[in-house]
Amino acid sequence: MTEYPTPDLTGCPACAAPAEVTERVDLWSTDGPVEHARVLCVNRHVFTMATERLPAHPAPVDDEPGRRTSPST
Ligand SMILES: [Zn+2]
């Protein structure tokens, strides 16, 4: 048994640093079960929040090469 779950990466809601989803749990809300994720960021912030509200990507990196080729006229 050498099957490891791939770590889910997201962004920290507090500091926008890369954060890892360490656990997924179903919490019951008024509308039924909602999947929540336990998030641990690199700065040791810990959150439990609905997975649907997680940022889709880690902290945005505004460093695309070739993006500043020509200024808009
Ligand atoms: Zn953080």
DSSP-H helix ranges across 1-73: none
What is the average pLDDT across 1-20?
Answer: 81
Tell me how far apart the alpha carbons of residues 67 and 5 are, in angstroms, rounded to a whole number: 35
Please report the pLDDT score of residue 15 as a whole number: 93
Cα-to-centroid distance, 50 and ligand 1 (Å): 17
**20-62 tens-digit pLDDT:** 999 999 999 899 999 999 999 999 999 998 988 887 655 555 6
Distance 33 CA to ligand 1 centre (A): 26
Q: So where are the chain's domains?
A: 8-53
| Residues with a beta carbon under 5 angstroms from ion ligand 1 | 12, 14-15, 17, 41, 43, 45
pLDDT reading at 8 higher than 70: yes
> What is the Å distance from ligand 1's center to 47 Cα?
9
> What pTM did the predictor assign?
0.61
